[in-house]
Amino acid sequence: MERGQRALETIDGQAGQNVIDALADIAPDFATYLFEFPFGDIYSRPGLSLRDREVATISALAAMGTAQPQLKVHLEAGLNVGISQEEITEILMQMAVYAGFPAALNGLFAAKEVFAARASEQAEERT
Protein backbone atom coordinates (compact mmCIF):
# COMPACT_ATOMS: atom_id res chain seq x y z
CA MET A 1 0.00 0.00 0.00
CA GLU A 2 2.91 2.35 0.78
CA ARG A 3 4.29 1.59 -2.68
CA GLY A 4 0.89 2.52 -4.11
CA GLN A 5 0.79 5.83 -2.25
CA ARG A 6 4.23 6.80 -3.57
CA ALA A 7 3.24 5.78 -7.12
CA LEU A 8 0.01 7.78 -6.94
CA GLU A 9 1.92 10.83 -5.69
CA THR A 10 4.48 10.68 -8.52
CA ILE A 11 1.96 10.07 -11.25
CA ASP A 12 -1.22 11.89 -10.38
CA GLY A 13 0.05 14.60 -8.01
CA GLN A 14 -2.57 16.86 -6.43
CA ALA A 15 -5.42 15.60 -8.63
CA GLY A 16 -4.98 12.06 -7.29
CA GLN A 17 -4.91 13.31 -3.71
CA ASN A 18 -8.19 15.19 -4.27
CA VAL A 19 -9.90 11.94 -5.30
CA ILE A 20 -8.62 10.20 -2.15
CA ASP A 21 -9.83 13.10 0.03
CA ALA A 22 -13.29 13.10 -1.58
CA LEU A 23 -13.67 9.39 -0.73
CA ALA A 24 -12.86 9.90 2.96
CA ASP A 25 -16.42 10.30 4.25
CA ILE A 26 -18.22 7.91 1.90
CA ALA A 27 -15.90 5.01 1.11
CA PRO A 28 -12.50 5.29 2.83
CA ASP A 29 -11.73 1.61 2.10
CA PHE A 30 -12.08 2.33 -1.59
CA ALA A 31 -9.18 4.79 -1.29
CA THR A 32 -7.14 1.92 0.14
CA TYR A 33 -8.05 -0.28 -2.83
CA LEU A 34 -7.06 2.53 -5.22
CA PHE A 35 -3.61 2.60 -3.57
CA GLU A 36 -3.30 -1.17 -3.49
CA PHE A 37 -4.55 -2.45 -6.83
CA PRO A 38 -4.10 0.18 -9.59
CA PHE A 39 -1.10 1.91 -8.05
CA GLY A 40 0.51 -0.64 -5.71
CA ASP A 41 0.01 -3.63 -8.02
CA ILE A 42 -0.41 -2.51 -11.64
CA TYR A 43 1.55 0.77 -12.04
CA SER A 44 4.45 -0.59 -9.95
CA ARG A 45 5.02 -3.59 -12.22
CA PRO A 46 8.38 -3.45 -14.05
CA GLY A 47 7.25 -4.82 -17.46
CA LEU A 48 5.98 -1.52 -18.93
CA SER A 49 7.23 2.06 -18.60
CA LEU A 50 5.13 4.66 -16.74
CA ARG A 51 5.04 6.67 -19.97
CA ASP A 52 3.52 3.73 -21.87
CA ARG A 53 1.06 3.15 -19.02
CA GLU A 54 -0.24 6.71 -19.30
CA VAL A 55 -0.50 6.49 -23.11
CA ALA A 56 -2.66 3.41 -22.52
CA THR A 57 -4.84 5.03 -19.85
CA ILE A 58 -5.44 8.26 -21.75
CA SER A 59 -6.47 6.27 -24.83
CA ALA A 60 -8.77 3.95 -22.92
CA LEU A 61 -10.56 6.74 -21.03
CA ALA A 62 -10.96 8.93 -24.13
CA ALA A 63 -12.31 5.98 -26.15
CA MET A 64 -14.79 4.93 -23.44
CA GLY A 65 -16.17 8.46 -23.11
CA THR A 66 -17.76 7.76 -19.71
CA ALA A 67 -14.96 8.95 -17.43
CA GLN A 68 -14.30 12.61 -18.18
CA PRO A 69 -13.07 13.52 -14.63
CA GLN A 70 -10.62 10.59 -14.65
CA LEU A 71 -9.46 11.48 -18.17
CA LYS A 72 -8.48 14.94 -16.92
CA VAL A 73 -6.53 13.44 -13.99
CA HIS A 74 -4.62 11.25 -16.46
CA LEU A 75 -3.99 14.02 -18.99
CA GLU A 76 -2.25 15.76 -16.09
CA ALA A 77 -0.51 12.51 -15.15
CA GLY A 78 0.63 12.03 -18.75
CA LEU A 79 2.38 15.41 -18.67
CA ASN A 80 3.91 14.47 -15.29
CA VAL A 81 5.57 11.33 -16.70
CA GLY A 82 6.94 13.01 -19.81
CA ILE A 83 4.32 12.82 -22.58
CA SER A 84 4.36 16.16 -24.42
CA GLN A 85 1.26 18.25 -25.11
CA GLU A 86 1.74 17.58 -28.82
CA GLU A 87 1.86 13.82 -28.23
CA ILE A 88 -1.29 13.92 -26.08
CA THR A 89 -3.06 15.82 -28.85
CA GLU A 90 -1.97 13.16 -31.37
CA ILE A 91 -3.27 10.34 -29.13
CA LEU A 92 -6.65 12.04 -28.75
CA MET A 93 -6.98 12.79 -32.47
CA GLN A 94 -6.23 9.12 -33.20
CA MET A 95 -9.20 8.08 -31.05
CA ALA A 96 -11.47 9.43 -33.85
CA VAL A 97 -10.49 6.34 -35.84
CA TYR A 98 -11.44 3.82 -33.16
CA ALA A 99 -14.17 5.46 -31.07
CA GLY A 100 -15.49 8.17 -33.42
CA PHE A 101 -15.02 11.90 -33.86
CA PRO A 102 -17.14 12.85 -30.80
CA ALA A 103 -14.83 10.83 -28.51
CA ALA A 104 -11.81 12.59 -30.02
CA LEU A 105 -13.42 16.03 -29.75
CA ASN A 106 -14.47 15.53 -26.13
CA GLY A 107 -10.94 14.36 -25.34
CA LEU A 108 -9.35 17.35 -27.10
CA PHE A 109 -11.58 19.80 -25.24
CA ALA A 110 -10.66 18.15 -21.93
CA ALA A 111 -6.97 18.50 -22.89
CA LYS A 112 -7.51 22.16 -23.76
CA GLU A 113 -8.76 22.78 -20.20
CA VAL A 114 -5.92 20.82 -18.59
CA PHE A 115 -3.23 22.55 -20.69
CA ALA A 116 -4.71 26.00 -19.92
CA ALA A 117 -4.89 25.29 -16.16
CA ARG A 118 -1.25 24.15 -16.18
CA ALA A 119 -0.15 27.24 -18.14
CA SER A 120 -1.84 29.57 -15.66
CA GLU A 121 -0.34 27.68 -12.69
CA GLN A 122 3.12 28.03 -14.21
CA ALA A 123 2.54 31.72 -14.89
CA GLU A 124 1.56 32.15 -11.24
CA GLU A 125 4.65 30.32 -9.98
CA ARG A 126 6.89 32.62 -12.00
CA THR A 127 5.48 35.74 -10.36
User: Which DSSP symbol is given to 121?
Assistant: H
Please report whether residue 21 would count as binding a copy of itself according to CB under 8 A. no
Torsion angle defined by CA atoms of residues 90, 63, 66 and 92, in that order, rounded to the nearest 10 degrees:
10
Instruction: Tell me, residue by residue from 61 to 100, as one string, x for binding to a copy of itself by CB under 8 A and - for no binding.
Output: xxxxxxx-xx---------------xx-xxxxxxxxxxxx
CA distance 110 to 62: 9
Q: Contact region for a copy of itself (CB under 8 A) — 6-14, 47-55, 118-126?
A: 47-55
CB 17, min distance to a copy of itself, A: 14
The whole-angstrom distance between residue 119's C-alpha and the CA centroid of its chain comes to 17
CB 126, min distance to a copy of itself, A: 21
- Three-state SS at 65: coil
Are 55 and 78 in contact by the 8 Å Cβ rule? The answer is yes
CA distance 71 to 118: 15
CB 77, min distance to a copy of itself, A: 12
Tell me which residues touch a copy of itself (CB under 8 A): 19, 22-23, 25-27, 29-30, 33-34, 36-38, 41-43, 45, 47-48, 52-53, 55-67, 69-70, 86-87, 89-106, 108-109, 111-112, 115
